[in-house]
């Protein structure tokens, strides 16, 4: 019987570049998703109206490491198929037996916008391959898939949010324990995503930031346990700045969750602006166009906070506003927002 695997994208409200050090993040799954309509098959064959080309490959037959059998996800073409092939390899590494399928992929998640289009594809593919596991395991498999597909050392936030999303709630995720706490979004609030520029993490300085955080941890131990006094003892000023962002951002997640739970949008917005300044000044992942967007969008009536979201170096900004605010009209000729709502996580259902 034909089925549909659906996995949402995500927007991160606060807590950027903290996940790969086991810190805190606060994203929400959104009502933009990737779907795969599929039927059983002996191999893998995928077409799409949103991605160019056809993905087709045979499933590896056995082995603890798929790559040891000549299966190399990073060589699959077209390139979007590498994420699908990475899921196969990651499932086999974990002892799962992926089932072949033929399907059609479609997505409403903007590509290259910092809304985790790759994670949505990975999670949808894992469900289509028949994975049966808890949310943390599925997310770990899909995170490994991204590593195999792109060599980008991403954290687990994107995949776990896509799997574990809760409608009308944001999620506080401890990326060390993988504990997930749902926090209700205030009815008085709206969340908007505004595309500023496209970007790809594999060609950016993202891996360098991961390495810089590792260098900081070599001096002060896990950043998730560090405080600002410890950070100030780091000798290298660049490494110190990177660590200062991570430690302060973890606290911002806690404070933001408290403000959101209390319905205090003004305080939540203040924390968002503070987080953007940290990403700009200490972590150096913003861009002039992102900074300009934050300034311009902050002038709209009913907007409480704006910040870049995602890996940075381009992408989107996220806006927290009153429910009746309108961020959809183009601003400065280019900044047109789309409202997003917190959505449930990934699922598989019969095709209707």
Output the pLDDT for position 202. Answer: 53
Output the pLDDT for position 200. Answer: 57
Q: Is the pLDDT of residue 107 over 80?
A: yes
Residue 178 to residue 126: CA distance in whole angstroms:
19
| 174 & 191 share domain | no
Q: What is the mean pLDDT of residues 103-125?
A: 92
Quick one: tokens of 278?
Answer: 């940290």
CATH number of domain containing 82: 3.30.230.10
Output the pLDDT for position 201. Answer: 55
Residue 258 to residue 173: CA distance in whole angstroms:
14
- The pLDDT tens digits for 1-55 are 899 999 999 999 999 999 999 999 999 999 999 999 999 999 999 999 999 999 9
Q: Is the pLDDT of residue 57 over 70?
A: yes
276's CB contacts (< 8 A; 6+ apart) are 286, 291, 294, 306, 307, 308
| 223 & 272 share domain | yes
Number of domain units in the chain: 2
Output the pLDDT for position 328. Answer: 87
Domain with 219, as residue range(s), is 184-340
Q: Is the pLDDT of residue 61 over 80?
A: no
Q: Residues 103, 109: contact at Cβ < 8 Å?
A: no
Higher pLDDT, 179 or 336: 179
139's CB contacts (< 8 A; 6+ apart) are 123, 156, 159, 160, 162, 163, 164, 178
Residue 69 to residue 170: CA distance in whole angstroms:
41
**Catalytic site includes residue 255:** no
| 175 & 210 share domain | no
Residue 274 to residue 278: CA distance in whole angstroms:
6
pLDDT band at 329 (very low <50, low <70, confident <90, very high): confident
Q: Is the pLDDT of residue 294 over 90?
A: yes
Residue 150 to residue 159: CA distance in whole angstroms:
15
Catalytic option among 16, 19, 50, 158: 158
How far is C-alpha 55 from the chain's CA centre? 24
Q: Count the Cβ atoms, other than its own, within 10 Å of residue 107.
A: 22
| 177 & 197 share domain | no
Please, what is the average pLDDT of the chain? 93
Share of the chain above pLDDT 90, in %: 83
Output the pLDDT for position 285. Answer: 94
- The pLDDT tens digits for 227-266 are 999 999 999 999 999 999 999 999 999 999 999 999 999 9
Q: Count the Cβ atoms, other than its own, within 10 Å of residue 54.
A: 12
Output the pLDDT for position 334. Answer: 67
Q: Residues 25, 11: contact at Cβ < 8 Å?
A: no
| 326 & 190 share domain | yes
pLDDT band at 330 (very low <50, low <70, confident <90, very high): low
pLDDT band at 314 (very low <50, low <70, confident <90, very high): confident
Lowest mean pLDDT among 23-37, 65-79, 155-169: 65-79
| 300 & 321 share domain | yes
The bridge status of strand 55-57 relative to strand 189-197 is unpaired
| 172 & 294 share domain | no
Residue 158 to residue 143: CA distance in whole angstroms:
8
Residue 193 to residue 319: CA distance in whole angstroms:
6
CATH number of domain containing 226: 3.30.70.890
The bridge status of strand 101-107 relative to strand 44-48 is parallel
* Helix residue ranges, H only, the chain: 81-93, 117-128, 135-150, 157-164, 206-220, 228-231, 237-261, 265-281, 288-297
| 330 & 226 share domain | yes
Q: Which residues pair with 25 in a beta bridge?
A: 173
- The pLDDT tens digits for 137-149 are 999 999 999 999 9
| 238 & 168 share domain | no
């Amino acid at each position: 019987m034909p089925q549909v695997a659906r996995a949402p994208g995500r927007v991160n409200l606060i807590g950027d570049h903290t996940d790969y050090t086991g810190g805190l993040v606060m994203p929400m799954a959104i009502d933009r998703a990737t779907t795969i309509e599929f039927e059983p098959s002996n191999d893998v064959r995928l077409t799409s109206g949103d991605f160019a080309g056809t993905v087709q490959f045979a499933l590896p037959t056995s082995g603890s490491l798929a790559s040891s059998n000549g299966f190399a996800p990073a060589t699959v073409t077209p390139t979007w198929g590498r994420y699908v092939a990475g899921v196969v390899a990651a499932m086999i590494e974990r002892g799962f037996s992926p089932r072949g399928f033929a399907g059609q992929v479609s997505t409403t998640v903007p590509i290259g916008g910092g809304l985790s289009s790759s994670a949505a594809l990975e999670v949808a593919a894992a469900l289509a391959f028949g994975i049966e596991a808890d949310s943390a395991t599925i997310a770990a498999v899909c995170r490994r898939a991204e590593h195999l597909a792109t060599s980008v050392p991403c954290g687990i936030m994107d995949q776990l949010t896509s799997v574990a999303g809760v409608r009308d709630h944001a999620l506080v995720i401890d990326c060390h324990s993988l504990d997930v706490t749902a926090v209700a979004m205030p009815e008085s609030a709206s969340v908007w995503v505004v595309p500023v520029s496209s970007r790809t993490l594999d060609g950016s300085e993202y891996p360098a930031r991961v390495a810089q955080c590792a260098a900081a941890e070599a001096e002060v131990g896990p950043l998730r346990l560090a405080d600002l006094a410890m950070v100030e003892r780091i000798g290298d000023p660049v490494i110190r700045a990177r660590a200062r962002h991570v430690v302060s951002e973890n606290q911002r997640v806690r404070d933001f969750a408290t403000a959101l739970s209390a319905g205090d949008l003004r305080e939540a917005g203040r924390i968002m602006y503070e987080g953007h300044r940290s990403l700009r000044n200490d972590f150096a992942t913003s861009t002039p166009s992102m900074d300009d967007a934050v300034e311009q969008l902050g002038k709209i009536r009913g907007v409480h906070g704006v910040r870049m979201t995602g890996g940075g170096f381009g992408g989107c900004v996220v806006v927290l506003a009153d429910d009746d605010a309108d961020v959809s009209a183009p601003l400065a000729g280019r900044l047109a927002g789309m409202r997003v709502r917190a959505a449930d996580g990934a699922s598989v259902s019969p095709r209707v």
